[in-house]
Amino acid sequence: MQAKLFEEIDSLYDEMVEMRRYLHQYPELSFHEVKTAEFIQEQYKLLDIPFQANVGGNGVVATLQGAKPGKTVALRADFDGLPIQDEKDVAYKSLNDGVMHACAHDGHTTTLLAVAKVLKKYQHDLAGSVVFIHQHAEEVAPGGAKPMIKDGVLENVDVVYGTHLWTNTPYGLVQTAPGNFMAAADKFTIMIQGKGGHGGIPHQTKDPIVIGSQLVTNLQQIISRKIDPIETAVLSIGSFHAGNAYNVIPDTATIEGTVRTFNENIQQFIIDEMTRIIKGTAISYDVDYHFDYAKGYQPLVNHPEHAERIIKAASSVDGVKKAEMIQPSMTGEDFAYYVQEKPGAFFFTGAQIENGFVPPHHHPLFDFDERAMKIAAKTLITATLNINN
C-alpha cells in the first residue's frame, strides 16, 4: 500500500505546486485568515471528507474514518502568513501588500491537503482514523494551537504528528530529536525614559541611547556569565529604536528582544536577572523605565518513541538522503501544546534551495524547494500507517 500511496503523491506533485503558489499569492495575517480557511474548507468539500470550521477561531479540522478499526492519528499544518513585504521576483509573488508566506505555511497546508486526498482514495484500505488539523495563527502568541485544543481537536486522538519545511536544512534531509526539539520563545520590551536635548550639549541630557547601549551589553552577560554553560539559553536583542535626527539626543529609547530556553527554572532566572539589571542600570543613570516580559510558546518536547517512528518512516521515503536525530533548535513552535496533550513528534523536512544565498525564514526573499512537500507528505503518510501496523 505504501508504494501506491507514494505513486499517488508523485502524480499530485504538479497540482501541489500550483496550489502552494496560489496560497503564496494570497497570504493572510494571524487571526485574520478568513479566505485561507474558506479555501481549505472547499478542498474538503471536493474530497467529501467531513470537516469542522471555525475551530478555536479560524481553524479547520477534517476527519477521515478508515474502513478498518485502528488508532486515530492527528496531522497538523499551519496556514497563517507574516507582516512582511514579498520581494521575490517570481510569478507567484504575494499579491497582498505587506503580507507574505515567509515561513512555508503555504507548503504545510498544501502538503496536508495532498495527504488527505491520497488517503481518501484508499479509505477502504485504511485502518483507524486520520484527523487533519489546519491551524491558524501559529506566528503570533498566544497562537492557534491552544484554542483549537480547547475546542476538542485532540479528543479521541492517540498520536499527533507535524512537520516544518525547513530551509536551514538541505533538501533530502529529515530531522527530529527525542525530547527537547524547539525552545520556549519569549518576547520582552524595555522603554527607557531619559531626557533629550542638543547633541552638542550632552551634559544637560540623560541620553537613553548611551543608557540603552550599556543595558544591551549588560543583558548579554546573563547568558555568558550567569548561566551554566551546560544549560541552553539565548537572549537576543532584535530592535533598538531611538531618535530621528543626527544632532538631537532623544527623550526615549525602546529595546525589544527574545529569550529562548528549555528549562523553566532557567527561564525564571533570566527574567529575575533582567529585572535586576534593568532596574540597577536605570538607578545608576537616574532615569525611569518600563520593562514588559511576555512568555510565549512553551518548549516543544517530542516523545522519544515517536521521534524514532518519524526517523524510521522517513528512512523508507524515496528522495530522503538521510533521516537523523539532531540537537534541539532555539526556534519556537506552538505545536508544543499538542505533544503536551498527546504522544507524538514534530520534525523538520529539509527544503533548502541550492542556489547560493539562502534567505532564512521570515525574510522578504524567502522561498523553499517545493520537492520537499513530497517528502513531507510521504513521511507523514508512512508514520500514520505505521501506527496501525
Exposure string of 223-255, with b = 16+ CB inside 10 Å and e = fewer, is beeebeeeebbebebeebebbeeeeebbbbbeb
pLDDT, one tens digit per residue, over 169-217 is: 999 999 999 999 999 999 999 999 999 999 999 999 999 999 999 999 9
Predicted local confidence at residue 6, as pLDDT: 98
303 in a known ligand binding site: no
pLDDT, one tens digit per residue, over 25-58 is: 999 999 999 999 999 999 999 999 999 999 999 9
- 72 contacts 387 by C-beta, under 8 angstroms: no
Predicted local confidence at residue 354, as pLDDT: 87
How far is the CA of 229 from the CAs of 179, 182, 197, 226, 276, in angstroms?
Answer: 20, 18, 42, 9, 21
Model confidence at 1, in pLDDT bands (50, 70, 90)? confident
Predicted local confidence at residue 97, as pLDDT: 98
Predicted local confidence at residue 326, as pLDDT: 98
- 337 contacts 145 by C-beta, under 8 angstroms: yes
Predicted local confidence at residue 366, as pLDDT: 98
Predicted local confidence at residue 148, as pLDDT: 98
139 in a known ligand binding site: yes
- Global pTM reads 0.95
pLDDT, one tens digit per residue, over 226-283 is: 999 999 999 999 999 999 999 999 999 999 999 999 999 999 999 999 999 999 999 9
Give me the active site residues, please: 80, 138
pLDDT, one tens digit per residue, over 132-169 is: 999 999 999 999 999 999 999 999 999 999 999 999 99
103 in a known ligand binding site: yes
CA-based R_g, the chain, Å? 23
Among 280, 282, 284, 266, which Cα is nearest to 222's? 266
What domains sit in the chain, N to C, each tagged with a CATH number?
2-181+299-387 (3.40.630.10), 184-297 (3.30.70.360)
Among 70, 67, 162, 112, which Cα is nearest to 385's? 70
pLDDT, one tens digit per residue, over 346-388 is: 999 999 998 878 899 999 999 999 999 999 999 999 999 999 9
Predicted local confidence at residue 389, as pLDDT: 85
**Residue 251, C-alpha cell as written in the block:** 527623550
18 in a known ligand binding site: no
Model confidence at 85, in pLDDT bands (50, 70, 90)? very high
* 313 burial via Cβ count (<10 Å: 0-12, 13-18, 19+): buried
8 in a known ligand binding site: no
Predicted local confidence at residue 103, as pLDDT: 98
pLDDT, one tens digit per residue, over 51-72 is: 999 999 999 999 999 999 999 9
Predicted local confidence at residue 118, as pLDDT: 98
